[in-house]
Chains A and B, each alone.
Chain A
Amino acid sequence: MSVALPHMPRGARRRAMGVLALLVGVGVAVALALLALRENINLFYSPSEVAAGEAPTGRVVRVGGLVQAGSVRRAEEGLDVEFVLTDGAATVTVRYRGILPDLFREGQGIVAQGRLGPEGVLVADQVLAKHDENYMPPEVADALREAHERSVRGAAPGGAP
């Protein structure tokens, strides 16, 4: 085995193996730990998981999804708001009283934290907006939207671009 490294006496070779063993050992240990914990590391449940009964009721949980278009209903007075979170397969209704983040809008990714009621309604005490990875100037976004509308004119609206 010839490795192009600065001259490697016996001791150095042994220590290099030690470093390699350290990296591999820690890597394997952490991978196993993360594998065991993988459900708990997720920040939120999806509406499908809630529908499947995977999210505990009566405990504080987070549910994440897109705000369904046309589902946001605000109270006549006060800060009460109700909306539907969807992941395309299932939905969860969220009730919240408070100030919504700037990015909150229909179609936006949202993470709501609260307790799941027995009828599957999430009574939230915190609503966080999730930004996507896209950055574009408004003119470009307008042009994209127009092109999109031209191509789907007549078809059902909705869905992320």
Chain B
Amino acid sequence: MVAHLLTPQGLDGFAARWAPRLLWTAGLMIAAGLYGGLVLAPVDEEQGEAYRIIYVHVPAAWLSLYGYMAMAAAGAVALIWRIRVAEVLLGAAAPVGAAFTALALATGAIWGKPMWGTWWVWDARLTSELILLFLYIGVMALRSAAEDPRAGARAAAILALAGVVNVPIIHFSVEWWNTLHQGPTVTRLAAPAIHPAMLVPLLLMAAAFMVYHAGAVLLRVRCLLAVEPAAALAEERA
């Protein structure tokens, strides 16, 4: 069963079945999460209604890190075992993660203007998250730069793995250095510093984004396998 998924044909069949289901599920969860966050959750005492952007910003930022780790894991498998489906997963995960990163940066800037008083500040959190976006773009560019998609994927995998060091930097930036960005609310060791009525929709949105991530990556896997099928079969035998 698992071995079957490691072949391009097997993964394609799996993605054909699961991508639509995951994307529909994610759509429903996002609808429920946004209703909970934008309508049901109470206003924040300090920020009023403006805080509600966290229901997109925070899950998008989490997924930008989760997506990077998933992409780097695929890269490690691709480098070590030379499995083509891992190379395809790496290529499929990069644009999805980049989209979440861009979304986190954009929503952060939109929130920052009224709350902080500026769209952007070069503090450690914002800068390291911007570097994450550049890493994603670099992986995408490197993958498609080589004539042979398999060689491109291996080069991209090395970049993806080298960039893993940025993930803990992003997460701990607000603790290691003083920044304008606030510290962690949900993932700190003490109890979350957010009211449960506000937290539940946030976690629902995070779960929804994870399901969307899986569905979107599988959809892109199908595209990549469709675009590069000949290479797939030829290389798989080699």
Do chains A and B stick together as partners? yes
> What is the interface of chain A, defined by CB distance below 8 A to chain B?
6, 12, 15-16, 18-19, 22-23, 26-27, 30, 34, 38, 41-44, 46, 64, 100-103, 111, 126-142
Give complex CA distance A141, B51 in Å. Answer: 15
Chain B residue at minimal CB-CB distance from A6? B81
Q: Does B180 touch A at the CB level, under 8 Å?
A: yes
Bound complex: CA of A127 vs CA of B43, how far in Å? 25
Does B225 touch A at the CB level, under 8 Å? no
Q: How far is the CB of B186 from chain A (nearest CB, A)?
A: 9
A126 & B117 in contact (Cβ 8 Å cutoff): yes
Contact yes or no, A19 B76, CB < 8 A: yes
Cβ of B169 and Cβ of A111 under 8 Å apart? no
Q: How far is the CB of A108 from chain B (nearest CB, A)?
A: 9
Which B residues touch A43, using CB under 8 A?
121-124, 177-180
Determine if B194 and A129 form an interchain contact, defined as CB atoms under 8 angstroms apart.
no
Partner among A30, A42, A101 whose Cβ is within 8 Å of the Cβ of B116: A101
List B residues 28-85 near A (Cβ within 8 Å): 42-47, 51, 54, 76, 79-82
Minimal beta-carbon separation of A11 from chain B (angstroms) = 8
Q: How far is the CB of B50 from the nearest CB of chain A, in Å?
A: 8
8 contacts between A and B (CB under 8 A): A26-B165, A30-B165, A43-B124, A102-B115, A134-B185, A134-B194, A140-B195, A142-B45
Q: Is the CB of B161 within 8 A of A19?
A: yes
Taking a contact as CB atoms under 8 Å apart, the answer to whether B117 and A101 are in contact is yes
- Distance in angstroms between the alpha carbons of A6 and B42 in the assembled complex: 49
Contact A12-B161, Cβ < 8 Å, known A34-B169, A44-B178, A132-B182: no
Instruction: List chain B residues, Cβ under 8 A from A30.
Output: 165, 169
Chain A neighbourhood of B123, CB < 8 A: 43
- The reply to whether B45 and A136 form a contact with Cβ atoms under 8 Å apart is yes
> B185 to A133, Cβ gap below 8 A?
yes
Known contacts A19-B79, A42-B177, A43-B123; A129 and B161 CB within 8 A of each other? no
Interface of A is mostly: mixed
State whether the Cβ of B106 lies closer than 8 Å to any Cβ in chain A.
no
Judging by beta carbons under 8 Å apart, are B79 and A18 in contact?
yes
B47 touching A103, Cβ below 8 Å: yes
Return chain B residues, CB-CB under 8 Å to A64: 178
Q: In the assembled complex, how far is the CB of residue A143 from the closest CB belonging to chain B, in whole angstroms?
A: 11
Residues in B neighbouring A127, C-beta threshold 8 A: 117
Chain B residues within 8 Å of A46, by CB: 178
Residues of B within 8 A of A103 (CB): 46-47, 115-116
Evaluate contact between A12 and B116: CB separation under 8 angstroms: no
Q: Quick one: CB contact mask for B175-190 with A, threshold 8 Å, 1 for yes? A: 0111110111100100
- The answer to whether B161 touches A128, judged by C-beta atoms less than 8 angstroms apart, is no
Q: Is B155 an interface residue (CB 8 A)?
A: no
Complex Cα distance, B181 from A64, in Å, reads: 12
Alpha-carbon separation in the docked complex, A44 to B54 (Å) = 25
A45 vs chain B, min Cβ distance (A): 9
- B81 → chain A closest CB, angstroms: 6
CB pair B47 A131 closer than 8 Å:
yes
Is B161 touching A22 in the complex (CB atoms < 8 A)? yes
A131 to B185, CA, bound (A): 11
Q: Are B198 and A135 in contact (CB under 8 A)?
A: yes
Chain B, residues 103-115, CB within 8 Å of chain A (1/0): the string is 0000000000011
